[in-house]
């Protein structure tokens, strides 16, 4: 690299972003996967690892309010953004309404897909509080439940819609 | 120089050019040791599967300002290459003027992947499921080669892709304006067949953009077929058979034959060529039948 201007274009190894409402500065390689950063560096293990290629949705997080697969996202891609994980939904001891609906309707079996599922449902209802079945299916098509417990999951979503699950605890 | 060494040791490094020319210069400097990265969703699947190795240098195209916009400009829709697929899917101008593309994008991966993946990445992949739609829409591509911008037809990119270190900056879609007095009708169809209903890689995708004249004959038609690892192509024999005619069962039988011959799928160990040829021909003919042959009241 002989070009001085270009040499200045290297992404910083310090990641500055917001995670669950807190500003953080993390010394991580820019290509570190967000999934590894959350689980291994920050011990936020609610975000689950499964397929590693963005097909299963177990690692779903919100970036600036939209659902993203944290296995597909690299640290530098989060720079200046706001990341919300499943740990960031509940307030103190009080579950987020979508979490509460999953609990009450039995929207899980083994529970491994549940954090990702809930994150996707929150993103959906924040953007569209009264989705049609078609819109629900589209929004959740990237979240797989290998127990095939979709009946309970759809019941939970229906209940979250009824009870205004998009509303946060605030 | 000491700084240089340090940078190189901190592999893999991410480079954030400020404009397309810088991106090209970085690619020229690193050669095969660097790859352009936008959403990185496809690259990640290749890195994880071991079909590609993450190179020591990534050139982050998302750092270039101004490449993610979608705008109407001089009778064209100009879609920035860095526009995220879900932003394209939700864009009112695209929904209004290029519903075929929106329909195609709706069926690519799931929403979270579409939040990250870019339209440019789908184009550069060449077998992305937006490509049949872009072919049917007669899209053109803007590339920056480091010194200037050049526009090429999407069909040219699919037929003979240049390996030059250039950056795709925009996709241009002509806006088809119907003459206000004519009874011409524009129609489109997009169908994707995979192994599941949603969030599935395609086996066959077809896209049709057509215009019919007042007398019911086809005034203009582009049919493209791709899917899986098959590089999409126009079905020109079928198009020629249809142009100027009002489709009926006999004509559609000939179109079916033409597509069986024209559509040559890439080898797939799990899906026979004959199955995919038949699927492509059936999808096209069924779409044409619904659009042009069913009684008007049934079309709703």
- Could you tell me how many CB contacts below 8 A there are between chain A and chain B? 108
Range of the domain at A29: 12-88
- The two structure tokens encoding residue B29: 């400097």
Q: What are phi and psi of B2, to 5 degrees?
A: -60, -40
Q: Is the peptide bond before A87 cis (omega within 30 degrees of 0)?
A: no
For residue B21, what are the CA distances in angstroms to A21, B63, B219? 37, 13, 42
Number of domain units in chain A: 2
Domain boundary among A88, A120, A139: A88
Task: Give B262's contacts (C-beta < 8 A, 6+ positions apart).
Answer: B225, B233, B235, B236, B237, B238
d(CA B121, nearest CA chain A) in Å: 14
* CATH number, domain containing residue A143: 1.10.150.120
- The two structure tokens encoding residue B141: 């591509």
Long-range residue pairs from B287-293, CB within 8 A, at least 24 positions apart, any chain: B287/B189, B287/B191, B287/B206, B287/B208, B288/B208, B288/B242, B288/B247, B288/B252, B288/B255, B289/B247, B289/B252, B290/B189, B291/B187, B291/B189, B291/B210, B292/B212, B292/B216, B292/B218, B292/B246, B292/B247, B293/B247, B293/B248, B293/B249, B293/B252
- The yes-or-no verdict on residue A169 having pLDDT over 50 is no
pLDDT confidence bin for A4, thresholds 50/70/90? low
pLDDT in tens, B221-270: 999 999 999 999 999 999 999 999 999 999 999 999 999 999 999 999 99
Query: Does A110 share its domain with A82?
Result: no
Percentages helix, strand, coil for chain A (3-state, rounded to 5) are 35, 15, 45
* CATH number, domain containing residue B263: 3.30.390.50
Residue of A nearest to B3 (CA): A7
Contact between B167 and B143 (Cβ < 8 Å): yes
Task: Give B177's contacts (C-beta < 8 A, 6+ positions apart).
Answer: B75
> What would the mean pLDDT of A40-46 be, rounded to a whole number?
98
Q: What are phi and psi of B31, to 5 degrees?
A: 60, -135
Mean pLDDT score of chain B, rounded to an integer?
A: 92
* CATH number, domain containing residue A73: 3.10.20.30
d(CA A71, CA A39): 11
pLDDT confidence bin for B8, thresholds 50/70/90? very low
Structural domain contains residue A82: yes
pLDDT confidence bin for B1, thresholds 50/70/90? very low
Tell me which of A9-13, A151-155, B12-16 is least confident: A9-13
Query: Does A81 share its domain with A101?
Result: no
Length of chain A: 170
Has this prediction a pTM greater than 0.90?
yes
List all residues of chain B from 183 to 202 with a beta carbon under 8 Å from chain A: 198-199
| CA angle B98–B99–B103, rounded 5-degree value | 130
B163 or A9, greater pLDDT: B163
Domain boundary among A68, A88, A108: A88
Task: Give the pLDDT score at B197.
Answer: 82
Tokens 């690259």 correspond to B43
List all residues of chain A from 107 to 136 with a beta carbon under 8 Å from chain B: 120
Task: Give the pLDDT score at B4.
Answer: 54
Range of the domain at B209: 185-294
pLDDT confidence bin for A9, thresholds 50/70/90? confident
Give the mutation candidate from A2, A13, A14, A30 for the B interface (greatest B CB count, under 10 A): A30
pLDDT confidence bin for B198, thresholds 50/70/90? confident
* CATH number, domain containing residue B121: 3.30.465.10
d(CA B221, CA B227): 20
* Identity of the residue in B15, B39, B112 whose CB atom sits nearest the CB atom of A67: B112
Structural domain contains residue B25: no
Query: Does B166 share its domain with B192?
Result: no
- The yes-or-no verdict on residue A170 having pLDDT over 50 is no
| CA angle A31–A36–A42, rounded 5-degree value | 115
| CA angle A62–B47–A137, rounded 5-degree value | 40
Query: Does B192 share its domain with B281?
Result: yes
Q: Do A10 and B112 touch (CB under 8 A)?
A: no
- The yes-or-no verdict on residue B53 having pLDDT over 70 is yes
Domain boundary among B115, B147, B174: B174
Residues of A in contact with B29 (CB under 8 A): 1-3, 6
Residue B10 burial class via C-beta count within 10 angstroms: exposed 0-12, middle 13-18, buried 19 and up = middle
């Amino acid at each position: 690299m002989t070009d001085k201007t270009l040499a200045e274009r290297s992404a910083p190894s310090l990641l500055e972003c917001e995670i669950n409402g807190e500003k953080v500065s993390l010394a991580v390689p820019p290509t570190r996967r967000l999934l590894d950063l959350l689980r291994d560096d920050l011990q936020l293990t609610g975000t689950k690892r499964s397929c590693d290629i963005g097909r299963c949705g177990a690692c779903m997080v919100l970036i600036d309010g939209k659902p993203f697969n944290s296995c597909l996202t690299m640290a530098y891609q989060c720079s200046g953004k706001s990341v919300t994980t499943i740990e960031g939904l509940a307030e103190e001891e009080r579950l987020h309404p979508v979490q509460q609906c999953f609990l009450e309707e039995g929207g899980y079996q083994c529970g491994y897909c549940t954090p990702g599922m809930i994150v996707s449902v929150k993103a959906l209802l924040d953007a569209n509080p009264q989705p049609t079945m078609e819109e629900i299916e589209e929004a959740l098509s990237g979240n797989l439940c290998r127990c095939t417990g979709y009946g309970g999951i759809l019941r939970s979503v229906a209940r979250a819609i009824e009870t205004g699950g998009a509303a946060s605890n605030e | 120089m000491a700084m240089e060494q340090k940078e190189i040791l901190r592999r893999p490094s991410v480079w954030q050019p400020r404009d397309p020319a810088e991106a090209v210069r970085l690619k020229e400097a690193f050669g095969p040791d660097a790859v352009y990265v936008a959403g990185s969703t496809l690259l990640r699947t290749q890195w994880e599967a071991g079909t590609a190795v993450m190179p020591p240098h990534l050139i982050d195209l998302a750092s270039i300002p101004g490449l993610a916009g979608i705008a109407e400009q001089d009778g064209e829709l100009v879609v920035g290459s860095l526009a995220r697929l879900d932003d394209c899917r939700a864009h009112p101008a695209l929904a209004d003027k290029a519903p075929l593309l929106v329909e195609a994008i709706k069926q690519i991966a799931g929403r979270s992947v579409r939040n990250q993946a870019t339209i440019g990445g789908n184009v550069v992949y060449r077998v992305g499921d937006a490509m049949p739609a872009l072919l049917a829409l007669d899209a053109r591509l803007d590339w920056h080669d480091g010194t200037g911008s050049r526009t090429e037809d999407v069909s040219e990119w699919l037929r003979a892709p240049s390996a030059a270190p250039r950056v795709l900056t925009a996709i241009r879609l002509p806006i088809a304006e119907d003459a206000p007095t004519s009874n011409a009708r524009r129609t489109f169809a997009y169908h994707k067949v995979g192994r599941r209903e949603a969030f599935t890689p395609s086996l066959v995708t077809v896209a049709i953009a057509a215009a019919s004249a007042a007398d019911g004959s086809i005034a203009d038609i582009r049919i493209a077929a791709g899917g899986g690892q098959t590089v999409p192509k126009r079905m020109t024999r079928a198009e020629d058979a249809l142009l100027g005619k009002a489709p009926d069962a006999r004509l559609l039988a000939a179109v079916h034959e033409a597509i069986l011959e024209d559509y040559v799928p890439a080898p797939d160990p799990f899906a026979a060529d004959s199955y995919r040829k038949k699927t492509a021909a059936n999808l096209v003919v069924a779409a044409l039948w619904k659009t042009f042959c069913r009684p008007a009241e049934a079309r709703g």
